[in-house]
A and B are shown apart, each in its own frame.
Chain A
Amino acid sequence: MPDVTPVAPITETASLRLDHVSKRFGAVNAVDDVSFEVPQGAFATLLGPSGCGKTTTLRTIAGFYDPDTGDIFIGGRRVNDLPAHRRGTAMVFQDYALFPHMTVRANVGYGLGVQGVGAAERAKRVDETLAFVGLTGLGDRWPSQLSGGQQQRVAVARALVVRPEILLLDEPLSNLDAKLREQLRWEMRELQRRLGMTFVYVTHDQEEALSLSDVVVVMKEGRVEQIGTPWEIYYRPRTSYVADFIGTVNLVAASVAEVREGTAVVTFGSQRASVRVPAALTLTPGTSVRLCIRPEALALRAPGAPADGVVLAGTVARSAFLGDLMRYWVVVDGREWIVDQPDPGAVSPFDGPVGITVRPERVHIIAEPS
C-alpha cells in the first residue's frame, strides 16, 4: 500500500519547464534556482507559506517579472524574451481583476477582441464559455452586480476563452468563504480535466494543493523544497519542513543502528523498529535521522493490551474533539506525540495512561539530523 502512487508518473512532453530560474528583489532572493516541469494537461500547484516565492514564480512564468537567470520554456519554446502578452499564459488573479467598466460578456470577450476574433465568432465562444462555467444568462451584468463566487467564475471564463497554452491561477479561491471554496475547488478540477489544459495553481492551502493537483511543488524561501504527487508529498516528504507544512506530523529524532537491504533498524528513545528506507536515500549506521509519522497512522490502546508493532507507553496530556476525529496529545518519555483517533463516536475517550501503537511500515525516514 505505501508504495502505490495513484497518479501516473510524469512521462508526457512538458508544457512548462523552468530551468534554474532565479529572481532577486534587492537583497531578497524571491526565487532561487527553481527548476521544474509540468507535463501537458497536468494540474500543477505551487505550494508554500506567504513569502516563499510561489507567486513570484507564477508571475515570472506569466512574464510580469524578468528572471535574473535561468530559462522558461512554454510548449518547448523559450519565452524569456517574449513580452507577457505573447506568452499564451492567461492568468486568473487573486482579486479577479475584472474590468469594472465592462459587462461580464465584454470581460470574457476581451481577449478574443485583442486576438482579432470577429464579433459573431466571439459572441459564440463567449456564450459557450459562460455556459461552461455555469454563468449562462449573466452576460449583461456588471462585475459589481455579481457575488464573489460568480466573479471568480467570470475571471476563470475570461482566461479560458482565449485557450491559453497554460492557465495560471494565483490563489483564485482565497477570497471566498470555506464552503464555496470547496465547491469551486471541485469545479476547477473538473474543468481542467475536461479541457485537458495545463494549469499552474498557486496556493498556501495544503488541502487545496493535495485535493487538486497532479504535481505539487513545495517551496520555501524561494527554493523548491520538493516536487511530487500529493501522495508523495504527504507520505514521503523529503524534509521535515515539507512534512510539517503539509498536515500534522510527529517528527521523532532517531538514530540508524543497522542498514539492511532496503530497510534500516532505527532507535528512538528506548525503542527499536525496522523501517523501510526511501529509494533515494543512502543511510549508514550511526546517522541521525528523523522519523515522520502521521497522527492518523498511530493508534491508541488501553495500557497493557496486546498489539502488533512497537508500543509506546504514555499518558494523555490533553485532547480535542474535532468532529470527524479525536486528537490526543500523549506524553511519552517527556516528549509529546499527536495521535488521531478516527470516528471518535465508536469508542469511549482515552484518558490517563495509554499505549501508542506504531506500525513500522507507516514510518517514513527523513535524512535530516535533528
Chain B
Amino acid sequence: MRSLRREPTLLLALLAIAGLVALFIVYPQIQVILTPGSTGYVDFLTGGTWVRPLQNSLLITALSTTTAVTLGFVYAYAMVYSDMPWKPFFRLVGILPLLSPPFVVAAAYILLFGPRGIVSYYVFGQSPNILGLYGVWAVQTIAFFPFAYQLIADVLSRSDARMEQAARNLGAGAWGVFRTVTLPLTRPGLGAAILMTAIYVLEDFGNPALIGGFFTVLPTQAYSLISGFGDLTGAAAVSTILLLLALVLYVAKIRLDGGRSYVTVSGRASSMPRPPVPAAASRACFVACLTLAALILMVYGTLVVSALTVAFPTNLRFTPVHFEYLTAQNLSLRNTLTYGLAAATISAGFAIVAGFLVQRGTWPGRRVLDFLLIMPAAVPGLFFGLGYVVAFNQPWLDWVDRGALIVVALIFWNIPVGYQAAVAGLRQIDRSIDEAATSLGASSMRGFRDVLLPMLRGSLRVGFVTTFVRAVTTLSLVIFLFTPQTTVATITIFQLVNDFNWGGATAFTVADVGMAVIVLTILAAVGGRRGLALGAARA
C-alpha cells in the first residue's frame, strides 16, 4: 500500500493492530489446540469419554435450535407482518432476554418447575426430576428464542416491501406472497439466523451446567474435566472439538450472509409499510406473542419475586434482605461494571481503527486480518477463556492483574461485532470523503480522526453496547479466568445457584440486569434519537 510506505503512523497503527490480534486472538487459541499434543489427542480420542458429550451436544443443538427458531420465527413474523396490537410492548419484552445471562432461565425454570417449584409442587403437587435432556431443551428454547427472534426479524424486515406489494398487486394472497416471494428472497438470511442460533445453543454452558444433571455436553464436560479433575489436556481436547463444530457452523453462516455478525435492535418499528395480512392471522399472531411474552415475563417475574421475598416460593413475604446481602458482597458487581465499561470502550475503539485500516487499506494480507477479526464470533467463550488461561496463566506473568486479563479477553472476544459495524459504516462513506481531507493536507490518521470517526458514531456505539452487554451476561468466558478478587456478577450468580441460595442468586441477577439497563438507558439518553443498536449477545 502506497500510503503505508509514506505514512509511518499508518504503518505503526497497522502493525500494532496486527500484533495485538496475533497475541490476543491467535496465540491463545493455538495454545489450547496444541496443549494436548499428538499423544494427548490420541489417548483422549481412543479413551472415548468425548463420544457421549459430543452426541449430546449435537442432539441438544438440533432440538433446541429447532424449537427456538420456530418460536422466534412466529414472534418475528408477527412483529414484522401482522397488524396486531401491543407491538411496542412485545418489542420491549423481546429485548429483555438479550440483556441478561441466558442461564438465569435455568434458575427460573427450577424455581417454577423443579422438585419444589411453584407450578410443579405447589400447583400440581409433583416433584419431578427436571434435570437432563428435557430440562435443558425446555430452558434453551426459552432462553434462545428471543435471540432467534431478533435475528429473524432483522432478516424479514430487510425484505423489500415493494416486491411484496407488487406480488399482492398481481393477485397473490398474504400467505402466498410470503411463501413465493418473501421466503425465497430471505432464505440465505434465515439460514444464517438459524446457524447463528445453533452456535449460541452449542456454546451454551450455563444452562446445561445448572440443569443438565448427568446429561453432559461438550462445554460442561470441558469445565468438569478442569474443575473436577484438573485435566487440562482433556479439557483442551474437548474444547477443540467444540471449536471445530462452532467453526463449521460459522463458516456455513458466513457463506450465507457474507459475515454480518450483528443485527440492529432498537425500540422502534421499521417505517416500511407491509401489505396487510388477514385479521384472523393478526389475531393468531397476537395470541402467540402474548403467550411467548408471558413466558419471558414469567421467567423474569419469578426472578424478581424471588429476589424480593424471604424464601421463594414457600414464604412470599417481602424482604430487602437479599439486596442487603448484595450490597455487602458488591465486589463482583463492581468488577462487572468496571470490566464491562473498560472492555466496551477499548473494544469499540480498537474495532473502529481496525475496521478503518482493513476496509480502507489496500495492503496485502488484509483478508487474513479481516478473517481473524471476525473469527472470535465463532469461538465459544469457554474455549476463548481457556486459551487465556493456557497462554497467560504463567508464573512470569504473575505481576499482571487478573482483572486486566479478563478485560483483555472481553475486548478481543467481542471485537467482531464492533468491527463489522465499523466496516459496514465505512462502506456507507464514499472514499472521496477521506480523499477530500487528504487533499486538504490531513494525513490518513488525521483525516480518520477528524472526518470519519465523527461519522462512525453509530458503529462505535454498536461495538460499545454489544461488548458491554456481553461482558455483563457472559459466564463461559470468565469461568476459567476469575479469581476471588476478580470475580464477576455472572460467576456469583452461578455459585449462588449451585449453593441453592435462590434469594441471593436472583437478587444478583436483578442487580446485574438492572445495571445493564441503567447503563444502556444513560447511553440512549446521551446518544439522542438514534436508538440503541446491539449485537445479539450470548453467554
Contact = CB atoms under 8 A, between A and B. Distances in A.
A307 to B, nearest CB: 55
A62 B3 CA distance: 12
Interface string B1-44: 01100110000000000000000000000000000000000000
A91 B442 contact: no
A168 B455 CA distance: 25
B2 A62 contact: no
Contacts of A100: 455
A62 B435 contact: yes
Nearest to B450: A110
A27 interface: no
A114 B435 contact: no
Interface in B416-440: 430, 432-433, 435-440
Most chain B CB neighbours (cut-off 10 Å) among A97, A111, A158: A97
A114 B451 contact: no
Given A93-B435, A97-B432, A101-B454, A110 B440 contact: yes
B443 interface: yes
Interface string B208-220: 0000000000000
Interface string A81-109: 11111100111011101111100000000
B528 to A, nearest CB: 14
Contact of B437 (A66, A83, A110): A110
A89 B455 CA distance: 25
Nearest to B434: A97
Contact of A65 (B2, B432, B438): B2
B52 interface: no
A111 B2 contact: no
A162 B433 contact: no
A133 to B, nearest CB: 16
A159 interface: yes
A268 interface: no
Contacts of A94: 432
B436 A93 contact: yes
Interface residues of B, number: 23
Contacts of A321: none
B273 interface: no
Interface residues of A, number: 30
Most chain A CB neighbours (cut-off 10 Å) among B441, B442, B446, B450: B441
A85 B436 contact: no
A90 B443 CA distance: 13
Contacts of A186: none
A115 interface: yes
B430 A85 contact: no
Interface in A149-204: 158-159, 162, 168
A93 B447 CA distance: 16
A162 B441 contact: yes
Interface string A111-154: 10011000000000000000000000000000000000000000
B439 A62 contact: yes
Given A83-B7, A84-B435, A90 B2 contact: no
Nearest to B454: A101
A95 B441 contact: no
A91 B6 contact: no
Contacts of A93: 432, 435-436
B205 to A, nearest CB: 43
Nearest to A91: B439
Contacts of B442: 85, 110-111, 114
B7 A95 contact: no
A140 to B, nearest CB: 18
A103 B441 CA distance: 19
Given A83-B6, A84-B3, A159 B430 contact: no
Given A66-B2, A97-B433, A110-B450, A85 B455 contact: no
A94 B2 CA distance: 23
A62 B450 CA distance: 20
A66 B3 CA distance: 9
Contacts of B432: 93-95, 97
Contact of B441 (A62, A81, A85, A98): A85
Interface string B309-325: 00000000000000000
B6 A82 contact: yes
Given A66-B2, A99-B433, A84 B455 contact: no
Contact of A64 (B7, B435, B440, B450): B435
Contacts of B446: 85, 114
Contacts of A168: 439
B356 to A, nearest CB: 16
Most chain B CB neighbours (cut-off 10 Å) among A63, A84, A94, A159: A84
B438 A97 contact: no
A171 to B, nearest CB: 12
B195 to A, nearest CB: 35
Contacts of B444: 83, 85
A264 B234 CA distance: 96
Given A83-B6, A100-B455, A159 B439 contact: yes
Given A65-B2, A100-B455, A110-B450, A84 B438 contact: yes
Most chain A CB neighbours (cut-off 10 Å) among B438, B440, B454, B455: B440
Contacts of A115: 441
A124 B6 CA distance: 33
Given A99-B433, A101-B454, A110-B450, A89 B439 contact: yes
Contacts of B450: 110, 114
Contacts of A63: 2, 438
A99 B441 contact: no
Contacts of B430: 95, 97
A168 B444 CA distance: 19
Contacts of B435: 62, 64, 84, 91, 93, 97
Nearest to B10: A83
A81 B440 CA distance: 18
A91 B436 contact: yes
Given A93-B435, A95-B432, A97-B430, A158 B454 contact: no
Contacts of A84: 3, 435, 438-439
Contact of B440 (A65, A90, A95): A90
Contacts of A82: 6
Contacts of B439: 62, 84-85, 89-91, 159, 168
B351 to A, nearest CB: 20
Contacts of A114: 437, 440-442, 446, 450
The 3 closest A-B pairs by CB, nearest first: A111-B440, A83-B6, A97-B432
Given A86-B441, A97-B435, A162-B440, 11 more contacts: A62-B439, A63-B2, A83-B438, A83-B444, A85-B438, A85-B439, A89-B439, A98-B436, A99-B451, A110-B440, A159-B439
27 contacts: A63-B2, A63-B438, A65-B2, A81-B6, A82-B6, A83-B3, A83-B7, A83-B444, A84-B439, A85-B439, A85-B441, A86-B441, A91-B439, A93-B432, A97-B436, A99-B436, A101-B451, A101-B454, A101-B455, A110-B450, A111-B440, A111-B441, A111-B442, A114-B441, A115-B441, A159-B440, A162-B441
